[in-house]
Amino acid sequence: MTATASDAAAPTAHFRFFALDVLRTRRLGHSFLRVTFGGESLADFRSGGFDQSLSLFLPPAGQEHTRLPSTDEDTWFAAWRAMPDEERPVMRSYTVREQRRTPEGTDEVDIDFVLHGDAPPASRWAGRAVTGRRILAIGPAVAQNKSVRFQPPPATDAIWMYADETALPAAAAILEALPAGTPVRAWFEVPHEDDRLALTTPADADITWIVRAGTGAGGGRERVEQVLGALRTAALPAAEAPYAWLAGEAGTVRAVRRHFVQERGVDRRAVRFTGYWRLGASEEQLLAEAYAGQAPSEDPTSDL
């Protein structure tokens, strides 16, 4: 997940630095690896659940642990940006899959990574993560914070969801937290057949898996049409006040939003959409755009 402007901002009372120690890893499917973190500082970590995001600082190649010249809320950003390229930790935004207190009284946080080779630094780091490695993160110190984007209005009577593999951990966390019996219609896009994870939810969920057979890692317009084709042929249960949560590749998310608003008649104010990445753009480019205030609007009233 690529950092947004709100994630990149200096920590306030709602956010602070945490030291995360790798406890263990577990392969979930062809593309997914779960890294479980611990550490004393997690006693103050307050995930808001749902699609709670945080910013990870991953060490550059050749270094085992993350080191920053400052973690002070007023100076860390400038100090981090001033580091030499070869020494600067990579900052990436991810979502919290789960936070829990163990029977022994310690805190753990799961973060699911998408593995797609060694070129992307987050994929490279996760694929080599071993017990004892330490990274730093800016995360929530209070549960109610602006990095939780799933915010259905009280009158919501159905949930529509779309997520690709980068947003699937957030979607899975949302499903687990929904009230029993909530009507849910969801479409989850993954690159491989065995990325169709076993998801649990108390909600009344109808999930369609879209496997990107033949469209490769990107897929361009063919990929978008595959997703829209699955949506257009689907029947939706009757609902007076549905809420749509859409997250993944930015171009696909915009196309899915247009489908819900223009073809399904969903009130655009009831559609929450987030581009976790953008086809053809590097993560560094997206991060630079976020710093410059050029990231696409996620305002539900936007015409995007």
Domains and CATH numbers, the chain: 5-140 (2.40.30.10), 158-291 (3.40.50.80)
Do 147 and 229 form a contact (C-beta atoms < 8 A)?
no
Q: Please give the pLDDT value at position 278.
A: 86
Which residues neighbour 192 within 8 Å (Cβ) at sequence distance 6 or greater? 29, 30, 31, 211
Strands 158-163 and 90-95: unpaired
Q: Can you tell me the distance from the alpha carbon of 262 to that of 281, in angstroms, rounded to the nearest whole number?
A: 27
Q: Please give the pLDDT value at position 294.
A: 57
Query: Taking Cα atoms as reference points, which of 206, 205, 173, 209 lies closest to residue 193?
Result: 209
Do 186 and 213 form a contact (C-beta atoms < 8 A)?
no
pTM (predicted TM-score): 0.89
Q: Where are the beta strands (DSSP E) in the chain?
A: 15-27, 32-38, 53-58, 90-95, 98-101, 107-114, 134-140, 158-163, 183-190, 204-211, 242-249, 271-277
Q: Please give the pLDDT value at position 5.
A: 43
Q: Which segments of the chain have a pLDDT < 70?
A: 1-12, 213-219, 281-284, 286-304
Tell me: the pLDDT tens digits for 63-120? 999 999 999 989 999 999 999 999 999 999 999 999 999 999 999 999 999 998 888 8
Chain-centroid distance of CA 238 in Å reads 29
DSSP β-bridge partners for residue 137: 18, 56
Query: Taking Cα atoms as reference points, which of 138, 52, 147 lies closest to residue 91?
Result: 138
Do 254 and 273 form a contact (C-beta atoms < 8 A)?
yes
Q: Please give the pLDDT value at position 2.
A: 47
Q: In what order do the strands lie in the sheet with 32-38?
A: 90-95, 53-58, 134-140, 15-27, 32-38, 107-114, 98-101
Q: Please give the pLDDT value at position 204.
A: 97
Q: Please give the pLDDT value at position 12.
A: 47
Q: Please give the pLDDT value at position 286.
A: 66
Q: Please give the pLDDT value at position 289.
A: 66
